[in-house]
Amino acid sequence: MKRSSRLSIALHALVHLHAQPGKQLSSAALATCLMTNPVVVRRILGELREAGIVDSSKGPNGGWTLSRAATEITLRDVYSALGERMLVRTESDPGDVTCAIVRSVDRVMHDFLDDAEALLAARLQRVRLSDLATDALHAGFPRLD
């Protein structure tokens, strides 16, 4: 699953954590499944830990676990914890701000993207990690054993 999206990596890792309740999964084990570096996993899950979505423990038997039930975690929780935008903001060249057309385009695009992000946030709020995990489990995803 080599992707640049931190949200995709986070959700993939969270589904694995949900699928193995009571078991701590190491960054290395998750990284192998996610086809990324354990440091990437630690950084992303570290942000989720700060948001109260996952817990971690150090040491040879340490690892990551969900801090609450998957039914209590929405995709919006994860999206917000990562602090990234899914929609690319367009900005005009700063030298063009005196142009009425540029200002108008920027204003319209800004309003449009605000509306689109609000819609996206509302949709993400309706989907729980448990919904995503159920879908993945029915598809027969491999477990980390």
List the beta bridge partners of residue 57. 63
Contacts of 91 (CB under 8 A, 6+ apart): 106
To the nearest 10 degrees (0 to 180), the angle between helices 75-82 and 129-138 is 110
Reported as a single tens digit per residue, the pLDDT across 4-13 is: 489 999 999 9
- Residues 89 and 144: their CA atoms lie apart, in Å, by 38
Q: Which amino acid is at 70?
A: A
Tokens (6 digits) for 128: 């729980």
Q: How many residues does the chain have?
A: 145
Give the global pTM: 0.80
pLDDT digits (tens, 9 = 90+) for 52-98: 999 999 988 899 999 999 999 999 999 999 987 767 666 666 667 67
6-84+128-138: CATH number: 1.10.10.10
